[in-house]
């Protein structure tokens, strides 16, 4: 016997807590060891197939880790629901809690879930498995839900950019998903929570790619052994992205400065281990062409602060002094050339440097402003083109829709899926029921009766798509405050009761015309109804 159990503390001498806690600890250890060492992960393809099957059968909770672990706590002595709940409370829940605390399981609450069994969600905390579940949900979204919602006119054709934005897409379709969707809706609710895993994984991969790219670029700059202009640097044939350029210029082994020549802005970089090579390259360029730009760039980088070799510092100072000679006044240069004294005095060096710095900073500022204007012009041009393209696509889609309406008005109704047909039938029943009770429904009535099943935008789109062949509408004249939206009436109700409605409306109109104190609201309604019926009835 375990001596700890045999000798209870005074505080719990009369309780069984120590036995329960001990049993739960043993269970926790066993489950943790099984998950980490012996649990066989399904293949990704098989796992996705299982998830899709569970969603379709409204058994998504069967794929949770809590369901699999919960089966271990089935006790044949729990002969009634009360005993089963006691086992769950004193054994299963504490073990699950500890598994979550030790990051063996991943847990979150889904308060929006219609089924209580889907509100506490436990997954095995295996990143690959969670990402596979995300993929399963995304595939179900694109292969099942999106086509279904498109068929009832809830959403239009998606662009590639919209398809890539999973979070935005799920948020967009959620208002169209009523509790009748069951685990399909639950899966999308879970996807909204889980999408951060995909975003984190994508962000992690992007960081790793950037890190690898940055390392390659820095190695190349080092191997160049001279100044490198970032504007002309390519990575595997592609121009370097702006965020990578920033990382390069801020790298602790890279020196960076801007330079401008003839209103063109340059961004030069140099590896700290290539300073010696850069000085030698600048010396050769100056000797062969007389161009001292590289010397000026090295000076702006303050390369001498990173040189330990005194001889190299002295060599660079001499090179810089020789490059400054051409900035002396013309007659000073001429006089010194005549006497073979081609040098610059120390008193003149600081003056020339200050002047060159002022001029260079001025050119850099002008080049920056020019680049900003060019970028703004390109951005404005891009936005204009995008706007024109969007308008063109909208006109094209509108033309196609009008053409489809004219050529095949009955096709749409035939393509209604079972869900759309069910929603249409419910809409027709609501409208007929209100008219039978001498009430006149509009879209607000439908929203009230279908609360939670569809939102206003979804209802409007649905009525536009499928209501035109089954539902008619008319406005009541002079009653905009009372009847904000058109009154809705079904085609089948008009077929059955239209003639009777017309007779009653005409009778009320005659009655109100001859009344000493007519009811103006009633008169306006009946006038509008009669005009609508006389126009519509011959077409039915």
Cβ–Cβ < 8 Å for 493, 514: no
**84 within domain boundaries:** yes
pLDDT tens digits, one per residue of 343-364: 766 667 777 888 888 888 888 8
Name, of 5-19, 243-257, 323-337, the range with top average pLDDT: 243-257
**211 within domain boundaries:** no
0.85 surpassed by pTM: no
Q: Are residues 356 and 316 in the same domain?
A: yes
Q: Are residues 283 and 425 in the same domain?
A: no
Query: What percentage of residues in the chain have a pLDDT greater than 70?
Result: 89
Confidence at 272, pLDDT banded by 50, 70, 90: very high
pLDDT tens digits, one per residue of 148-166: 888 877 788 888 888 888 8
User: Rounded to whole angstroms, how far apart are CA atoms 361 and 211?
Assistant: 33
Question: Where does residue 119 rank: exposed (0-12), middle (13-18), buried (19+ CB within 10 A)?
Answer: middle
* Torsion (CA) 204, 205, 206, 212 in degrees, nearest 10: 110
In this structure, of 324-338, 434-448, 510-524, the range with the lowest mean pLDDT score is: 324-338
Question: What is the average pLDDT across 373-396?
Answer: 77
pLDDT at 41 over 60: yes
Question: What is the average pLDDT across 222-240?
Answer: 88
pLDDT for res 188? 95
C-alpha to C-alpha distances, 7 to 2, 20, 21, nearest whole angstrom: 9, 15, 15
Q: Are residues 186 and 230 in the same domain?
A: no
Q: Are residues 417 and 362 in the same domain?
A: no
User: Rounded to whole angstroms, how far apart are CA atoms 119 and 61?
Assistant: 9
Question: Where do we find the tokens 């066989």?
Answer: 40
Q: Are residues 268 and 194 in the same domain?
A: no
Strands in 254-261's sheet, in edge-to-edge order, are 228-229, 264-271, 254-261
**215 within domain boundaries:** no
**For the chain, how far is it from start to end, CA to CA, in angstroms?**
89
pLDDT for res 190? 94
Total count of residues recorded for the chain = 540
Task: Give Rg (Cα) of the chain.
Answer: 39
pLDDT at 54 over 50: yes
Q: Are residues 321 and 450 in the same domain?
A: no
pLDDT for res 5? 47
Q: What are the structure tokens assigned to 117, written together?
A: 């069994």
φ, ψ dihedrals at 264, nearest 5°: -110, 130
pLDDT for res 3? 46
Cβ–Cβ < 8 Å for 259, 300: yes
pLDDT tens digits, one per residue of 302-337: 999 999 899 999 888 888 888 777 777 776 767 767
Q: Are residues 24 and 90 in the same domain?
A: yes
pLDDT at 110 over 50: yes
Helix (H) or strand (E) holding 73: none
Confidence at 408, pLDDT banded by 50, 70, 90: very low
Q: Are residues 265 and 306 in the same domain?
A: yes
pLDDT at 77 over 50: yes
User: What's 418's domain CATH number?
Assistant: 1.10.10
Strand, coil or helix: 110: coil
pLDDT for res 460? 81
Question: Between 491-514 and 418-436, two packed helices, what is the crossing angle to 10 degrees?
Answer: 20
Question: What is the average pLDDT across 128-154?
Answer: 90
Helix (H) or strand (E) holding 108: strand 105-109
**386 within domain boundaries:** no
pLDDT at 457 over 90: no
Residue that finishes a domain, picked among 376, 399, 425: 376
pLDDT for res 417? 55
pLDDT for res 398? 64
User: Rounded to whole angstroms, how far apart are CA atoms 383 and 402?
Assistant: 28
Confidence at 138, pLDDT banded by 50, 70, 90: very high
Residue 172 structural domain: 3-203
In this structure, of 75-79, 148-152, 395-399, the range with the lowest mean pLDDT score is: 395-399
pLDDT for res 327? 72
pLDDT tens digits, one per residue of 276-291: 999 999 999 988 988 8
Residue that finishes a domain, picked among 321, 353, 376: 376
Range list of β-strands (E), 390-440: none
How many domains does the chain fold into? 3
Q: Are residues 44 and 179 in the same domain?
A: yes
Question: Where do we find the tokens 């790219």?
Answer: 213
Cβ–Cβ < 8 Å for 295, 257: no
**191 within domain boundaries:** yes
Residue that finishes a domain, picked among 376, 400, 421: 376
Question: What is the average pLDDT across 193-215?
Answer: 88
User: Rounded to whole angstroms, how far apart are CA atoms 213 and 232?
Assistant: 16
Q: Are residues 116 and 238 in the same domain?
A: no
Q: What are the structure tokens assigned to 385, written together?
A: 């083109």
Question: What does pLDDT average to over the chain?
Answer: 84
pLDDT for res 102? 93
Cβ–Cβ < 8 Å for 170, 187: no
Helical ranges in 225-249 per DSSP H: 242-249
Q: Are residues 157 and 255 in the same domain?
A: no
**262 within domain boundaries:** yes
**124 within domain boundaries:** yes
Q: Are residues 162 and 79 in the same domain?
A: yes
**216 within domain boundaries:** no
Q: What are the structure tokens assigned to 95, written together?
A: 């073990």
pLDDT for res 263? 75
């Amino acid at each position: 016997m375990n001596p700890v159990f045999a000798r209870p503390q005074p505080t719990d001498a009369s309780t069984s807590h120590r036995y329960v806690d001990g049993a739960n600890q043993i269970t926790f250890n066993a489950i943790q060891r099984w998950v980490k060492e012996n649990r066989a992960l399904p293949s990704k393809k098989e796992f996705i197939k299982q998830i899709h099957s569970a969603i379709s059968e409204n058994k998504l909770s069967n794929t949770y880790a809590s369901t699999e672990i919960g089966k271990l706590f089935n006790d044949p002595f729990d002969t009634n629901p009360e005993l089963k709940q006691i086992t769950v409370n004193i054994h299963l829940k504490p073990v699950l809690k500890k598994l979550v605390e030790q990051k063996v399981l991943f847990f979150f609450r889904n308060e929006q879930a219609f089924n209580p069994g889907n509100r506490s969600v436990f997954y095995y905390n295996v990143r690959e498995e969670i990402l596979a579940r995300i993929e399963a949900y995304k595939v179900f979204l694109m292969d099942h839900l999106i086509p279904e919602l498109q068929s009832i006119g809830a959403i239009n054709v998606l662009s590639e950019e919209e398809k890539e934005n999973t979070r935005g897409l799920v948020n967009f379709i959620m208002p169209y998903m009523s509790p009748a969707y069951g685990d399909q809706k639950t899966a999308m609710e879970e996807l909204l929570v889980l999408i951060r895993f995909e975003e984190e994984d994508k962000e992690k991969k992007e960081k790793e790619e950037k890190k690898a790219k940055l390392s390659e670029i820095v190695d190349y700059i080092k191997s160049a052994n001279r100044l490198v202009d970032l504007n002309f640097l390519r990575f595997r044939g592609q121009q370097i992205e702006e965020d990578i350029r920033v990382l390069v210029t801020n790298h602790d082994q890279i020196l960076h400065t801007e330079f401008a020549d003839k209103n063109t802005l340059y961004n030069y970089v140099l590896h700290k281990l290539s300073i010696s090579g850069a000085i030698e390259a600048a010396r050769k360029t100056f000797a062969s062409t007389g161009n001292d730009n590289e010397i000026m760039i090295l000076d702006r980088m303050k390369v001498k602060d990173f040189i330990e070799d005194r001889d190299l510092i002295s060599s660079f100072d001499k090179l810089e002094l020789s490059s400054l000679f051409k900035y002396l006044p013309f007659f000073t240069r001429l006089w010194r050339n005549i006497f073979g004294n081609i040098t610059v005095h120390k008193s003149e060096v600081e003056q020339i440097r200050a002047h060159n710095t002022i001029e260079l900073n001025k050119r850099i500022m002008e080049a920056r402003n020019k680049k900003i204007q060019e970028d703004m012009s390109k951005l404005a041009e891009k936005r204009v083109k995008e706007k024109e393209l969007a308008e063109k696509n909208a006109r094209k889609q509108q033309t196609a829709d009008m053409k489809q309406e004219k050529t095949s008005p009955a096709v749409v109704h035939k393509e209604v899926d079972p869900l759309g047909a069910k929603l249409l039938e419910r809409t027709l029943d609501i409208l007929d029921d209100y008219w039978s009770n001498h009430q006149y429904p509009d879209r607000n009535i439908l929203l009230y009766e279908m609360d939670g099943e569809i939102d206003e935008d979804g209802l409007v789109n649905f009525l536009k798509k499928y209501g035109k062949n089954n539902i008619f509408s008319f406005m009541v004249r002079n009653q905009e405050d009372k009847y904000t939206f058109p009154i809705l009436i079904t085609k089948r109700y008009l077929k059955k009761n239209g003639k009777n409605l017309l007779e009653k409306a005409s009778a009320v109109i005659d009655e109100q015309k001859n009344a000493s104190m007519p009811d103006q609201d009633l008169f306006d309604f009946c006038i509008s109804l009669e005009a609508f019926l006389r126009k519509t009835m011959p077409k039915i």
